Structure 1
Amino acid sequence: MTRTYLKKATPVTATATTSSPVDVPAIVRSVIDDIRRDGDAAVRTYSVKFDKWSPASFKLSAAEIDDIVATVPQQTLNDIRTVQANVRRFAEAQRESLKDFEIETSPGVFLGQRNNPVQSVGAYVPGGRYPLLASAHMTVVTAKVAGVPHVVGCTPPIRGEIPKATVAALHLAGADEIFILGGVQAVAAMAVGTQTMRKVDFLAGPGNAFVAEAKRQLFGEVGIDLFAGPTEVLIVADDKADPFVVATDLLSQAEHGPDSPAVLITTSEDVGLKTMAYCDEQLKTLCTADIAGVSWGNLGEVVLAKDLDEAYRIADEYAFEHVQILTENPREALDKMSHYGALFLGAQTCVSYGDKCIGTNHVLPTRGAARYTGGLWVGKFLRTVTYQEVRNAEASGELGRLCGRAARAELFEGHARSGDLRAHDHLGDDHDWIKR
């Protein structure tokens, strides 16, 4: 598809100063191996190395949690409770949409489905550049609604201090244990277990490149929510869109990090040009311009489409994490688009609502993963399992005959004999190999 760019991304390429890039997979592999071998001792070594953090215990006691929460401003606590209520309400609706059932497929043959929660989850809440306490809502609250009995929360110290609001968010969300521990050492400790941290079955939560790589390497040993990359935002706008709103919302996501792409697809050249001008103007006063300006400058794009149908097709090609629709009829995108992590419809709805407070989950697919998966939701913490029961002897015999024929077509004689035996016992079929 031919595209007309009013602004095209110009990603920074490696230079002489970056000719020896950090080997993230190798570093992560080494940390995981050390923690697997040396447990808590290795965790402490890496916590000192990466975070300069070595408390008597990484795990907070109940008394310490109470003392920390007591120092958080009441308005912040009230807001945490309100946001978590929104997340919980939506997660509960998701859980109610997943039904256990049992059906009788033929006389005497019963097949069923159960949705059983994962038994233990490790929730990672980042805290490097920003204290992302909203991630506590998205991971812990959702896991608890799913019925997970034990959730461990890990969050790093920030500049040598305990992130008090994040601890409050983890506690109010229902975390059963809270550790002030960050990075690969936290993820690895939760995944493999140590002397003081029980091994979990599932890891959830966003993080930097090292955390993402740790989850990738540990996947299989434990389950994970997503292979998450840098935050992405894409806006589809028509000629009725307000360029000032478009610019504001693009920069709101660009401030996540210098590697966060922000894309506008518009049917109006005027909207595109004015949006670019407003971005330049707003960056003069935005306190996070040192980050947002880099991502907008290097990775920002403005694409001109001939009509909205083409705009939606281009947007689907990007398959971005966040897609915002600023058009006269925004709900049209529900039918026109397929590939997105979350859709935000109309000027009264912004991506920041999804990030911080509206109730849908903000852990979403990036780097094109929206083509094959959705984001974190209550179903990620559930295992949909099946069961079977044949209560009718004649039905068991008939299934045995079918099984025998089907298995021998695939040359599985042992499978066939399991079927033969039921056909013999319940229908009287004669088989030479059956000699009790």
Structure 2
Amino acid sequence: MMTARTRAIETIDLKSPSGDARERGSTADVRQVVESVIADVRERGDEAVREYSKKFDDHAPETFLLSERELDEIVGRVPRQVLDDIRFAQEQVRRMAQRQLDSLADFEMETLAGVLLGQKHVPVQAAGAYVPGGKYPLLASAHMTIITAKVAGVERVAACTPLIQGEVPDATVAAMRLAGADEIYLLGGIQAVAAMAIGTETIAPVNMLAGPGNAFVAEAKRQLFGEVGIDLFAGPTEVLIVADEHADPFVVAVDLLSQAEHGPDSPAVLITTSEQLGRRTIEYIDELLPGMSTRDYAEAAWRDWGTVHVVATLDDAYALADAYAFEHVQILTARPREALEKMHDYGALFLGEGTCVSYGDKVIGTNHVLPTRGAARYTGGLWVGKYLRTVTYQEVVDERSSAMLGELCGRASRVERFEGHARSGDIRAAKYGGAELPWTRHTFER
């Protein structure tokens, strides 16, 4: 039995995770290393950044910023088909982001005579985009972080990505440039995140950080949150599939493994109403894993974090999926759109066999920076709105309304013992409405 947030759900567990959930969080060692590096970058700026880049990536050039000439050379090395594919994917992301922006409206309304209240969506002035490298470069993260910021109207986007095994990641850099980054740095890890957030002699600070990364990058963003904004607190990639007896177990197996390959701590969960489908899916996974080129990650993830639940009804499946609140939830049922009404807590839904989480990761246009570790219970993923500050303004141009509000403000403020607040209201009640000011001899001529 597994307890959802709403009710207990009876399950048959064909496979349970064997890993320790505590190991998937930020460890004390990671927190200590990150804190030390951030403090050093804060104290010594570029010198510290260069030393850590040399230590962790064996990369310490005179400048990490790529020049226009270098960018031209890098993009020129990328095959035409790769560039065409990048442009296609980026256009999908741009169209989605633009539609999101178009759905947001500034407004102004008159609530009383001459009392004007308004709302504006104002982009942050500078954003930092972290595009991870590591064993598998995530160049699609350039689309998600940079394009979304630019569509939102961010004036300056600084983007960082590390070398991969000592080599420039040409396709990633090309994606960053085509996405519209204003500055591109060959710099990774804690030092890159700290440099963008804090600022150094050569890297101006940003107001917001976005993008996925390893445990050290995620912890750096967590520690810097407040000093700068961040997109969200990121953890290992998660996938959950809800399937009924109509689903193809081979497709289910392939789609689970497609996300398990992100890392050895990436959970892959199947919730199904069909025990037969659950067992067949496990068999297919066992057959497929030995031949996967990413077996070193996918096998460990499935072994330690793979889970298969059998439940009685699809309503139970949706409720149990909500309890997980995973970033990626794929619906492989006879009526997949039913999940739009039945489910609440997820980062993104992928409806029906014709789509898959990998489409969202790479090419379809929705943003792949999504909440993990249960954060889908209270937040969505990265979107245009994350780069916007919703601000308000107010103006009172009618003297009678100002006088009335002044009297009300005076009374309300004194209930709370805020005499200074009350007096700000009093003087407007006096100046515009002729009220007396018992706390001063000052008078206003009418």
TM range (shorter): over 0.9
Alignment partner, residue 383 of structure 1: 389
Q: Which residue of 1 aligns with 2:353?
A: 347
Partner residue of 2:370 out of 355, 364, 368: 364
Superposed displacement of residue 83, structure 1: 0.4
Q: 1:86 aligned to 2:85?
A: no
* Deviation of the 1:277 alpha carbon: 0.4
Between the aligned partners of 1:406 and 1:230, the Cα distance in structure 2 is 49
Runs of 4+ in 1 over 2 A off after TM superposition: 12-15
TM-score of the superposition, structure 2-length normalised? 0.95
Taking the TM superposition and a 5 Å limit, the aligned residue runs for 1:268-347 are: 268-347=274-353
Task: Choose from 24, 46, 55 the match for 1:49.
Answer: 55
- Out of 224, 230, 236, the residue aligned to residue 230 of structure 2 is 224
CA shift at 1:3, angstroms?
A: 2.6
Secondary structure class of the residue paired with 1:77? helix
2:71 and 2:94 map into 1 onto residues whose CA distance is 22
Match of 1:197 in 2: 203
How many angstroms does 1:126 deviate by?
0.2
206, 213, 217: which one aligns with 1:207: 213
- Partner residue of 1:95? 101
Structure 1 103/166 Cα, relative in aligned 2: closer, same or farther at 3 Å? Answer: same
Tell me whether 1:137 sits opposite 2:155 in the alignment.
no
CA drift at 1:402: 1.0
CA–CA separation in structure 2 for the residues paired with 1:40 and 1:13? 37
Match status 1:155 vs 2:154: no
For residues 121-145 of structure 1, give each alpha carbon's deviation from its aligned partner in whole angstroms, at most 9, with x where no partner exists.
0100000121110000000000000
Does residue 6 in structure 1 map to residue 14 in structure 2?
Answer: yes
- Residue 406 of structure 1: how far off its partner (Å): 1.0
User: CA-to-partner distance for each residue in 1:284-332, whole Å, 9 max, x for gaps?
Assistant: 2111111101101110000011000000000000000000000000000
**Structure 1 unaligned blocks of 5 or more:** 16-20
Count the aligned residue pairs. Answer: 431
CA-CA distance at 1:413 after TM superposition: 0.9
Whether 1:26 and 2:32 are equivalent positions in the alignment is yes
Query: Does residue 1:413 correspond to 2:419, yes or no?
Result: yes
Instruction: Give the counterpart letter for 1:337 in structure 2.
Output: M
CA distance in 2, matches of 1:246, 1:13: 24
Contact 1:421 1:434 in 2 (8 A): no
Query: For the structure 1 residues 45 and 244, does the alpha-carbon distance in structure 2 shift closer, same or farther, using more than 3 Å as the test?
Result: same
Q: CA deviation at 1:14?
A: 9.5
Residue in structure 1 matched with residue 5 of structure 2 by the alignment: none
Matched to 1:353, the amino acid is Y
Structure 1: how far apart are the matches of 2:335 and 2:122? Answer: 40
* TM-score, normalised via structure 1 length: 0.97
CA RMSD in angstroms, aligned pairs only: 1.2
- 1:399 and 2:405 equivalent? yes
Aligned amino acid, residue 128 of structure 1 = G
Q: What is the distance in 2 between the residues matched to 1:13 and 1:185? A: 28
User: Equivalent residue of 1:283, what SS?
Assistant: helix
Distance in 2 separating the partners of 1:305 and 1:312: 10
Alpha-carbon distance between aligned partners in 2 of 1:352 and 1:14, rounded to the nearest angstrom: 27
